[in-house]
Amino acid sequence: MEDVLARLTTLLTGIDRLAVAFSGGVDSSLLLALAARVLGPSRVLAVLGVSPSLAADERAAAHAVARHIGVPVVEVVTHEQDRDRYRANGPDRCFHCKDELFTRISDEVVEAHRVDAVAYGENADDARRPDRPGAQAAVAHRVLRPLADLGLTKADVRRLASLCGLPCADKPAAPCLASRIPHFSDVTPEKLAQIERAEAALRRLGFTDFRVRHHGDVARVELPPADLPRAVSPPLREAVHAAVLAAGFRFAALDLAGIQSGAFTLPLVGALRA
């Protein structure tokens, strides 16, 4: 830990106030906590982008983590839904979402809060993935990526988050709700609301790691393989089915492949590279 803090101190040399694009996930939370240790909590600001693609549960959890760290949160309302290419939902959707977020931070936060630099929580594993177009937006806006520059992998991030006592150290990855919609199917507030209702209901049923993929009338539920047996066993099976239908879907399907990161984007990236 001391070595990481020392190297981060070097990376942040010359920065008086730092804004961290913050989601409440383990990556941005660790970055926020480490920056607060290096610069002091009063010189670090957590910036949370709020839009229909952010679930209410995730928004509340992010505020709780920031309170635990002792760093103030500024919310910025993002309008990625106004961007045609975001709504069109191609493989570059994340670029347009992150570009909107970083633009809003530049326009509404940097000057108002006397921020010298903006950083986000890309780790070294994510930096090597081909399905992260949001990273291109970060480069375009000169957003720092200290975790990746320090060579911290996802495993490193979780280990350090645990050492810091962060409540989200073991939190499963929680990409934005738009990631549940197949590429080239329009992203709409109505679809996002359906997904949020279904996922909130699954969380109340005791599931902690899952995705509800939106395929029109069909909700394709992804769960870790260990959760599949109880999801299909009464009485939970009936409760899962009822929860999905109550969210506005006609059918509930359970994906036997389990939970899949990058399920929609990775195949398209591979095809584009071939």
- Per-residue pLDDT of 48-62, as tens digits, reads 999 999 999 999 999
Return all residues near 79 (Cβ < 8 A) that are at least 6 apart. 51, 100
Same domain, yes or no: 135 and 259: no
pLDDT over 50 at 187, yes or no? yes
Same domain, yes or no: 220 and 85: no
Same domain, yes or no: 133 and 66: yes
Integer-rounded Cα Rg, in Å, for the chain is 19
HEC-encoded secondary structure of 207-218: CCCCEEEEECCE
Q: How confident is the model at residue 130 (pLDDT cuts 50, 70, 90)?
A: confident
pLDDT tens, 146-184?
Answer: 999 999 999 999 999 999 999 999 998 888 999 999 999
Structural domain includes residue 223: yes
* End position of a domain, from candidates 111, 140, 163: 163
Paired tokens of 56: 């209410």
Same domain, yes or no: 158 and 189: no
Q: How far is CA 233 from CA 202, 203, 208, 228, in A?
A: 15, 17, 18, 9
User: How does DSSP classify residue 42?
Assistant: G
Instruction: Region of 206 please: left (phi>0), alpha (psi -120 to 50) or beta.
Output: left
Contact criterion met (CB below 8 Å) for 154 and 125: yes
pLDDT over 80 at 271, yes or no? no
Q: Which domain holds residue 239?
A: 177-265
Instruction: Region of 114 please: left (phi>0), alpha (psi -120 to 50) or beta.
Output: left
* End position of a domain, from candidates 163, 197, 223: 163
- List the CATH number of the domain containing 96: 3.40.50.620
Q: How confident is the model at residue 132 (pLDDT cuts 50, 70, 90)?
A: confident
Same domain, yes or no: 144 and 247: no
Structural domain includes residue 65: yes
pLDDT tens, 96-115?
Answer: 999 999 999 999 999 999 99
pLDDT over 90 at 265, yes or no? no
Same domain, yes or no: 151 and 36: yes
CB neighbourhood size of 224 (10 A): 13
Structural domain includes residue 270: no
pLDDT value at position 274?
43
Rounded distance between C-alpha atoms, residue 66 and residue 149, angstroms? 23
Q: Where do runs of H (alpha helix) occur along the chain?
A: 2-11, 26-39, 56-69, 84-88, 93-108, 124-127, 134-140, 146-149, 154-163, 189-204, 228-231, 236-246, 265-273
pLDDT value at position 264?
66
Contact criterion met (CB below 8 Å) for 240 and 210: no
Q: How confident is the model at residue 267 (pLDDT cuts 50, 70, 90)?
A: low
Tell me whether residue 94 is exposed, middle or buried, using C-beta atoms within 10 angstroms of its C-beta: 0 to 12, 13 to 18, 19 or more: buried
Structural domain includes residue 213: yes
Confidence (pTM): 0.90
